């Protein structure tokens, strides 16, 4: 249903379903009835009724009425780098299948890579494989600099058994100037290419900030599938705030930033700042940067108890405090 509404451009309804999907995914227990469903925040009467119908009949009749072309749309949006807008454009140009697209000039370089690994990218990664891929990168990094630090983030750090991609955060203590860690990072990526671990590169950027982000495709030495890998390199002083950001969930991160705002602070993937002045949405004084060597120190400065990564899936830190 979410894909259907995305296809028709009904952003509002798509968001309602997206939110519900997130809540259902994060729900620890199997949902066995409409009554159980409706107790979950973010699940309203309508979606609870859909859940009941699926539980009782194994199907959702409303989906049958949804345009068949939605199938094409969702196939296209499952191509890495292809969002709803591109999917609609491709559809309007007459493409209907992945086969059609493979002969087309209408995809950009990244989308062609997305298409090439379509099956693999749409297959989730068992936790053990993420561990092994992380260890491989760590070994290569430590060969370049034995004090290199690496942490697997995202859904992996939140303890999921299956992950959508591999998210790695890296820093080398004492490498604070951008030249130092950029040189290290470039060497590392070349090494990963030379060893045959990295198969394709989607992008490498610094987004004009202190952090470098590599997006690519890798395959472990003893593994069958090609996997999406993101590696982010940060100056050591930004480690803790970057760790909170890349661990997610996106929802949790957003709630932490809004908590900081209430405390007249500013939390980003770079740092935590205090005594921040705002005029409506505009920051008029960016205050003073706090020294936050660890994740714990960030929670402490915000005045909230530390939250284990495994509890950050669907947690709104503001609501948890009340
Ligand atoms: N993130 C965020 N806001 C975004 C995208 C990402 O805060 N718009 C952060 C939180 C999670 C982390 O980056 C990694 O992102 P993903 O890999 O997209 O999410 P994930 O939680 O690791 O889930 P998946 O298993 O699907 O990769
Ligand atoms: Mg991830």
Q: Are 136 and 216 in a shared domain?
A: yes
Let me know whether 80 and 28 are in one domain: no
Residue 153 pLDDT > 70 = yes
Residues 287 and 191 in one domain: no
Residue 7 has pLDDT above 80, yes or no: no
Residue 108 sits in which domain range?
69-116
Ligand 1 pocket residue status of 77, Cβ below 6 Å: no
168: DSSP letter: E
The encoded tokens of residue 209 equal: 């900030």
Say whether both 135 and 202 belong to one domain.
yes
3-state helix, strand, coil in the chain (%, to 5): 50, 15, 35
Q: What angle (nearest 5°) sits at the alpha carbon of residue 149, between those of residues 152 and 199?
A: 55
Residue 240: the pLDDT is 98
Cβ(114) – ligand 1 distance below 6 Å? no
- Residue count of the chain, please give it: 322
- Rounded distance between C-alpha atoms, residue 313 and residue 253, angstroms: 10
Domain boundary among 78, 98, 116: 116
* Beta bridge partners of residue 151, listed in sequence order: 169
**What is the CB-side half-sphere exposure of residue 92 using CA atoms within 13 A?**
8
Mutate to test the pocket of ligand 1, among 21, 26, 154 (most ligand atoms within 8 A of CB): 154
For position 67, what pLDDT does the model report?
66
CB 87 within 8 A of CB 76: yes
Grouping H, G, I as helix, E, B as strand and the rest as coil, residue 166 is strand
Residues sharing a CB contact under 8 Å with residue 217, sequence separation 6 or more, in sequence order: 113, 117, 198, 199, 200, 201, 202, 226, 227, 228, 229
Question: Which residue, by CA, sits nearest to atom 24 of ligand 1?
Answer: 164
CA dist 218 and 191 (Å) reads: 13
Query: Which of 15, 16, 47 has the alpha carbon at shortest distance from 31?
Result: 47
Q: Is 163 in the pocket of ligand 1 (CB under 6 A)?
A: yes
Residues 6+ apart with CB under 8 A from 185: 170, 212, 214, 231, 233
Note whether 61 and 76 are same-domain residues. Answer: no
14 and 49 part of one domain: yes
Say how many Å lie between the CA of residue 264 and the centre of ligand 1: 26
The full DSSP string for 193-260 is HHTT-EEEEEEEE-TTSS-EEEEEEE--TT-SS-EEEEEEE--GGGHHHHHHHHH--HHHHHHHHHHH
The reply to whether 130 and 102 lie within a common domain is no
Output the domain CATH number for residue 82: 1.10.150.20
109, 15: one domain = no
Residues 136, 165, single domain; the answer is yes
Domain count, the chain: 4
Q: How far is the CA of 164 from the centre of ligand 2 (A)?
A: 5
133 and 227 part of one domain? yes
Ligand 2 mean position, distance from CA 222 (Å):
21
Q: Are residues 272 and 313 in the same domain?
A: yes
Show the tokens assigned to 221: 């030495």
The pLDDT, as a whole number, for residue 62 is 86
Q: State the closest ligand 1 atom to the C-alpha of 158, by its place in the atom list counted from 1.
A: 21
Using most ligand atoms within 8 A of CB, pick from 161, 167, 241, 258 the residue to mutate for ligand 1. Answer: 167
Choose one of 46, 66, 86: the last residue of a domain: 66
Give the pLDDT mean for 34-50: 94
22-40 average pLDDT score: 91
Judgement on whether residues 110 and 207 belong to the same structural domain of the protein: no
What's the pLDDT score for residue 258?
95
pLDDT in tens, 154-181: 999 999 999 999 999 999 999 989 999 9
């Amino acid at each position: 249903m979410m894909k259907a509404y995305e296809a028709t451009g009904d952003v509002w309804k798509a968001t309602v379903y997206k939110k519900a999907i997130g809540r259902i995914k994060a729900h620890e227990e199997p949902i066995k009835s409409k009554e159980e469903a409706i107790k979950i925040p973010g699940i309203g009467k309508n979606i609870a009724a859909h859940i009941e119908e699926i539980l009782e009949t194994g199907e959702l009749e409303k989906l049958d009425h949804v345009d068949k072309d939605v199938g094409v749309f969702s196939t296209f949006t499952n191509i890495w780098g292809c969002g709803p807008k591109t999917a609609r454009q491709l559809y309007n140009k007459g493409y209907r299948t992945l086969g059609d697209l493979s002969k087309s000039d209408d995809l950009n370089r990244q989308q062609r890579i997305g298409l090439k690994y379509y099956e693999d990218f749409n297959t989730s990664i068992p936790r053990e494989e993420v561990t092994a891929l992380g260890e491989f990168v760590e070994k290569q990094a430590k060969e370049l600099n034995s004090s290199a630090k690496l942490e697997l983030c995202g859904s992996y750090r939140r303890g999921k058994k299956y992950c959508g991609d591999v998210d790695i955060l890296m820093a080398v203590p004492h490498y604070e100037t951008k030249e130092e860690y950029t040189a290290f990072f470039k060497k590392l990526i070349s090494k990963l290419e030379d060893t045959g671990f990295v198969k394709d590169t989607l992008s490498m950027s610094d987004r004009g900030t202190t952090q470098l982000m590599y997006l690519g495709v890798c395959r472990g030495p003893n593994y069958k599938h090609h996997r999406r890998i993101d590696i982010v390199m940060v100056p050591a002083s930004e480690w803790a705030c970057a760790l909170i950001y890349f661990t997610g969930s996106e929802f949790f991160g957003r709630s932490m930033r809004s908590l900081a705002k209430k405390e007249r602070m500013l939390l980003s993937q770079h740092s935590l700042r205090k005594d921040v002045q705002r005029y409506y949405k505009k920051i008029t004084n960016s205050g003073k940067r706090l020294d936050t060597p660890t994740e714990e120190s960030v929670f402490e400065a915000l005045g909230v108890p530390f939250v284990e990564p495994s509890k950050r899936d669907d947690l709104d830190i503001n609501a948890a405090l009340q």
